[in-house]
Amino acid sequence: MKRLNVGMLGTGFMGRAHSNAFNQVGRFFELPCQPVLKCCYGRNVETLKAFQKTWGYEEIATDWRALVESDEIDLIDVCTPNFLHKDMVIAAAEAGKMIVCEKPLAMNYAEAQEMVAATEKAGVPTCVSFCYRRNPSVMLFKQIVEENRIGRPFHYRATYDQDYTISSKVPVGGAALWRLDANVAGSGVTGDLLAHSIDCAEWLNGRISRVCAHTEIFIKERTNAVTGEKTPITIDDACMFMAIFENGSVGVFESSRYARGRKNFNTMEMNGENGACYFNLEEPEYLQFFRYADPKTGLKVEDHLTGWQKILVTNSEHPYMNRYWVPGTVIGYEHYFINQIADFILQASGGTPVAPVPTIADGARIQKVCDSVIKSAQESRWVEIE
């Protein structure tokens, strides 16, 4: 089978999740090519060599531009900290590669626009890693919306909470905690967590037209893990915003890394005229659905037996599940990345993905909403998203 040579940029959490997906995808999906972990790039040679060994890369590179420009590489996967995304994506586009890029797409919308221009000029297939769309329950949520089972939407509600930065002893900087450094991450929970929530919200419920936000920094100074010096924190530790959607429904979004007890509490709920849907990533194999009316007739079906259904999304009729195990056996976080790579390869090769993957242009749109949220918080006012 034809090889699809992958060049991986980054050896951290996402580098691992994506490498695993490339290794596994051909075992679960029928694809027109076989992804091969050809070469990985990182700055620390020791870490890079260990990463190569763990995931089975054929080669390593310490110069990312040389890797991106190599004729042997077909696909570049950008899993580095956010401030590097723009240059890497543009270089990969100019070299004519297929591109996967982690979210948030860029440090800001201006950068994202440059990335859109470069990738559209090159005409290369792209995918921004909004991996939660590829959870079978979230994909079933989308199906339920498309089947008009929610009907006219009134409310959209999303939370994305974690609790790993509560201690003032958690340092900023270094390999692991670049997410707290505005010069490296761009923003805090808005880009890191709410970008996922906004992506799902616009995918499920259409575009947001206006936002009104408040952000908070709870610990304003931390020790820098590299220099040992006290460093001011300028990223948003928490962010909440109200949103008005173009379809007239209203939304509330809330995110924090100080939500004690919440580890990766990514929830989304939609309440409409015909029904409602709720998903919680801490119970990822379930989708909750409330059925009020028949989607075809709009007539009420709610009766004395009606209640929220908690659907175990593991049947072969459920999105992606016929690729894995038998009903009742669940899949996990790593499978969202496998599903995403499968859909991207199928989409790029004229096959049939379960659903289209978000492109760089889609990632830029989410960046625009994130920038508007930050602007709204800075200026304490509603911001229109043109």
264 binds ligand SOE (CB under 6 A): yes
The amino acid that residue 191 corresponds to is G
Cβ proximity to ligand SOE: between 264 and 349 the closer is 264
The whole-angstrom separation of Cα 124 and Cα 134 is 22
Contacts of 115-121 spanning 24+ positions with Cβ under 8 A? 115/85, 115/86, 115/89, 115/90, 115/360, 115/363, 115/364, 116/360, 116/361, 116/364, 118/89, 118/90, 118/93, 118/94, 119/89, 119/93, 119/359, 119/360, 119/361, 120/361, 121/93
Cβ proximity to ligand SOE: between 74 and 254 the closer is 254
Q: How far is the CB of 162 from ligand SOE (least distance, A)?
A: 6
Cβ proximity to ligand SOE: between 153 and 188 the closer is 188
Q: How far is the CB of 14 from ligand SOE (least distance, A)?
A: 8
Cβ proximity to ligand SOE: between 148 and 264 the closer is 264
Block residue for tokens 């221009």: 117
Q: Binding string, 292-331, against ligand SOE, x = CB under 6 A? A: ----------------------------------------
Size, binding site for ligand SOE by CB under 6 A: 4
Q: How far is the CB of 6 from ligand SOE (least distance, A)?
A: 20
Q: How far is the CB of 281 from ligand SOE (least distance, A)?
A: 9
The CA-based diameter of the chain, rounded to the nearest angstrom, is 66
Cβ proximity to ligand SOE: between 77 and 192 the closer is 192
Which residues are within 8 A (CB) of 39 and not within 5 positions of it... i.e. 6 or more apart? 5, 6, 7, 8, 57, 58, 59, 60, 61, 67, 70, 72, 73
135 binds ligand SOE (CB under 6 A): no
Cβ proximity to ligand SOE: between 187 and 347 the closer is 187
Q: How far is the CB of 15 from ligand SOE (least distance, A)?
A: 12
Instruction: Look at the chain and count its residues.
Output: 386
192 binds ligand SOE (CB under 6 A): yes
Q: How far is the CB of 18 from ligand SOE (least distance, A)?
A: 12
Please give the distance of CA 86 from its chain centroid, rounded to a whole number. 17
CB 44 within 8 A of CB 29: no
Options 162, 255, 274, 314; binder of ligand SOE; rule CB under 6 A? 162
Cβ proximity to ligand SOE: between 36 and 177 the closer is 177
Q: Which residue is nearest to ligand SOE (CB)?
A: 192
Q: How far is the CB of 39 from ligand SOE (least distance, A)?
A: 24
Which residues are within 8 A (CB) of 317 and not within 5 positions of it... i.e. 6 or more apart? none
Exposed/middle/buried for residue 154 (C-beta within 10 Å: 0-12, 13-18, 19+):
middle
The token duo for 80 is 């580095």
Q: How far is the CB of 33 from ligand SOE (least distance, A)?
A: 27
Please give the distance of CA 378 from its chain centroid, rounded to a whole number. 25
Footprint of ligand SOE (CB under 6 A): 13, 162, 192, 264
